[in-house]
Amino acid sequence: MALALNDTAPDFEAQTTEGDIRFHDWIGDSWAVLFSHPKDFTPVCTTELGTMAGLKSEFHKRNVKVIGISVDPVENHNKWKGDIHKATGHEVDYPMIGDRELVVAKLFGMLPADAGTTSEGRTPADNQTVRSVFVIGPDKKIKLTLTYPMTTGRNFQEILRVIDSLQLTAKFPVATPADWMPGEDVVIAGSVSNEDAVKRFGSFDTVLPYLRKAKQPSA
Q: Which residues are catalytic?
A: 45
For residues 96 and 190, give the distance between their C-alpha atoms in angstroms, rounded to a whole number. Answer: 41
- Determine how many CB atoms are found less than 10 A away from the CB of residue 25: 9
Instruction: Count the helix, strand and coil residues of the chain and give each as a percent rounded to the nearest 5.
Output: 30, 25, 45
Backbone angles phi, psi at 147, to 5 degrees: -130, 130
Instruction: List the one residue out of 13, 28, 34 whose CA is nearest residue 142.
Output: 34
Strand partners of residue 212: 206
**Beta strand pairing call for 205-208 and 211-214:** antiparallel
In 3D space, the residue among 11, 36, 43, 138 whose CA is nearest the CA of residue 97 turns out to be: 36
Q: Which amino acid is at 140?
A: K
Query: Which helix (H) or strand (E) is 175 found in, with range?
Result: strand 174-175
Q: Is 45 exposed, middle or buried (CB count within 10 Å of its CB: 0-12, 13-18, 19+)?
A: buried
